[in-house]
Amino acid sequence: MLFLLLIGLYTGLFPSLVLSRETAHRPTMDAAALIEANRLLEEELTLAGRPQIYMVLDLTAHIILIKSRGIELHRLPITAWHQVRKGSLNGVFRLRARPSVSRPKAAAPAENTAPAAIELQHMPERYDLAFDPGLMISVGQTVRERPWPWVKSLVHEWWNHVAGLLGIVVKTEDWATIKIHLTVSPDTARSLAWTMTDGMPLIIGRTVLARD
Amino acid sequence: MFQRKTGLKIAGLGLIFLITVPLSARTPSGLTETIDGPHPVVSRQALQPLLARHATLKKKLSQFTPAGHYIVVDTAHNRLHVRQGKDIVLTAVASTGSGTILEKPDQPGSQWVFDTPRGGFSIQSRLTNPVWVKPDWAFLEEGMNVPSNPAERVEQGILGDYALGFGKGYFIHGTLYPRLLGKNVTHGCIRLSDDDLKTVYKLAKVGTPLMIF
């Protein structure tokens, strides 16, 4: 029995550990990739025509692009990702909730010293981003970087799934919500937290076409 | 006894199922419903309509790229870039908003928030030898009363030799505190060194796009 349990845990746990070693696919020109790339471009065109900052999450290329007017302003690498609850990732999502940061009170400026301020280092490294309609992106680190929080998130996911199977109402989870977990470095997590603003549009693609 | 052992075995297998199914039910990184896995070989001729559509869409997207110079401000790292196409013409160390707050004494529950605004803007004005007309918060922050005489709000030499306005009272301007460049210290404006400010002023015209993230 213990042997079967260990086999089951191996099957369940090791794929997630292997995720961090997967590399992006090589570019290909097949029909499916082109259809996906064209879909993403059409969605981006709806955003690029307005004076705004938007985000492109390319899951196959393992990259987050911060863009405006079709121009790449900044890119953040993703170590790995997995989709906990499936659903369509097409369309434009808009940020509804992001991690809050306490703001210090302004003080009289002094000539040679910097006053208290919100800086990149104050941004969280693990958090959830809620988008409309119905998307949750959780951001965190690898097992090696944060072993205990990773285990906690794993147990949390397992419990939510089991609760759903058993019909137990889980107060904090909306079962209609698609959920994606992004594994990123602490620096990337902080940069992403800094960049996100209320209502920021997001489009998600899984294109393997080579980028310019 | 036999039924008890069998029941325990079935319960154990069920427990393993409950543990492993949610863990392995994820979509592994890189696998998708439509892209991964072996694909049927498709001739290039068959792909032509999709390729043509792809080229059209990319061309449409590229038309949003400004034809001349444009400015990109990275508030996280306090950097200002002047770009033309994909080329970076200038990278300058800047200071952007501190993110601090100041309560408005006459409006309980209301406050000033000293953020550099994010989003897409354009240069709306170009000034030489700009003069700072101090807003109310500049007095309140120092514990001073807000003057009733407008002339008492004017300060010269604070903003440097040039200022580029991009709306709602926000400017790209100089600084008396070059040691604080690279830090989030301003009340929302973007500060540059004298040399960088001069270069940006020369490159940016009214209408030059400005993107702040």
What does pTM read for this prediction?
0.79
Helix (H, G, I), strand (E, B) or coil at B68: coil
Give the residue, A25 or B123, on which the prediction is more confident. B123
Asked if residue B75 is part of any domain, the answer here is yes
The pLDDT assigned to A39 comes to: 95
Q: Tell me the C-alpha to C-alpha distance, in Å, between residue A79 and each of A54, A56, A64, B179.
A: 21, 16, 11, 36
Q: Which of A74, A52, A21, A81 is nearest to A205 (CA)?
A: A81
pLDDT value at residue A72: 96
CB contact under 8 A, A105 and B100: yes
Question: For an interface test with B, which of A3, A7, A18, A30 has the most B Cβ atoms less than 10 Å from its Cβ?
Answer: A30
Q: What residue in A sits closest to B42 (Cα-Cα)?
A: A30
Q: Check A12 against B23: CB less than 8 A apart.
A: yes
The residue range of the domain holding B129 is 69-212
CATH number at residue A63: 2.40.440
Q: What's the pLDDT band for A16 if we cut at 50, 70, 90? A: very low
User: Is residue A7 over pLDDT 60?
Assistant: no
Instruction: Say whether A116 and B100 touch across the interface (CB within 8 A).
Output: yes
Per-residue pLDDT, B37: 45
3-class secondary-structure state, position A40: helix
Over range A65-72, report the average pLDDT: 96
Q: Provide DSSP, A164-204.
A: HHHT---TT--TT-EEEEEE--HHHHHHHHHH--TT-EEEE
Q: Is residue B177 part of a domain?
A: yes
Can you list the residues of chain B whose pLDDT is less than 50? 22-38
Q: B153 and B137 in contact (C-beta within 8 Å)?
A: no
Q: Kind of pairing, strands B87-97 and B79-84?
A: antiparallel
pLDDT the model gives residue A101? 81
- Residue B157 three-state SS: coil
Is B41 a domain residue?
A: no
For A92-146, the pLDDT digits (tens) are 999 999 888 888 887 665 555 556 889 999 999 999 999 999 999 999 987 565 6
- Chain B, window 60-119: residues with a beta carbon less than 8 angstroms from a chain A beta carbon: 60-62, 64-66, 70, 72, 74-77, 83, 98-103, 112-114, 118-119
What CATH number should be reported for the domain holding residue B112? Answer: 2.40.440.10
Q: A82 and B177 in contact by Cβ < 8 A?
A: no
- Please state, in angstroms and rounded to a whole number, the distance separating the CA atoms of residues A133 and A125: 24
Q: Please check whether residue A173 lies inside any domain of the structure.
A: yes
The answer as to whether A8 is a domain residue is no
Number of domains in chain B: 1
Tell me the pLDDT of chain A averaged across its residues: 79
Rg (CA), chain A: 19
pLDDT of residue B5: 76
Query: pLDDT at position A19, please?
Result: 39
What residues make up the domain containing A126?
A: 25-99+122-205
Q: Is A80 on the interface with B (CB under 8 A)?
A: yes
> By CA distance, what is B71's nearest residue in A?
A73
Q: Whose CA is closest to A97, among A67, A136, A149, A68?
A: A136
Helical (H) or strand (E) element with A211: none
The C-alpha torsion from A43 through B64 and A66 to A106, rounded to 10°, is -120
A191 and B CB contact within 8 Å:
yes
* Calpha distance A66→B211 (Å, rounded): 11
Contact of B24 with chain A, judged by CB distance below 8 Å, is answered with yes
Asked if A108 and B47 come within 8 Å (Cβ–Cβ), the reply is no
Assess if residue A130 is contained within a domain.
yes
Interface contact flag, B184 A117, Cβ < 8 Å: yes
| Residue B8 belongs to a domain | no
Contact with chain B for residue A187, Cβ under 8 A: no
Looking at CA atoms only, how far is residue A129 from chain B in angstroms? 17
Among candidate residues B164, B177, B174, the one with its CA nearest the CA of residue B207: B164
Is residue B173 in a domain? yes
Q: Read off the pLDDT of each residue in A73-85 and give the average, rounded to a whole number.
A: 91
Q: State the first-to-last Cα distance of chain A, in angstroms, to the nearest integer.
A: 54
Q: Please say whether the beta carbons of B73 and B200 come within 8 A.
A: no
Closest by alpha carbon to A182, among A119, A131, A108, A129? A129
Q: How confident is the model at residue A26 (pLDDT cuts 50, 70, 90)?
A: very low
Contact call for B51 and A34, based on CB within 8 A: yes
Cβ-based neighbours of A198, under 8 Å, separated by 6 or more = A95, A96, A98
**Partner A contacted by B29 (CB < 8 A):** yes
Establish if A21 touches chain B: CB-CB under 8 angstroms: no
| Residue A71 in tokens | 């121009």
- Does B80 map to a domain? yes
Overall number of domains in chain A: 1
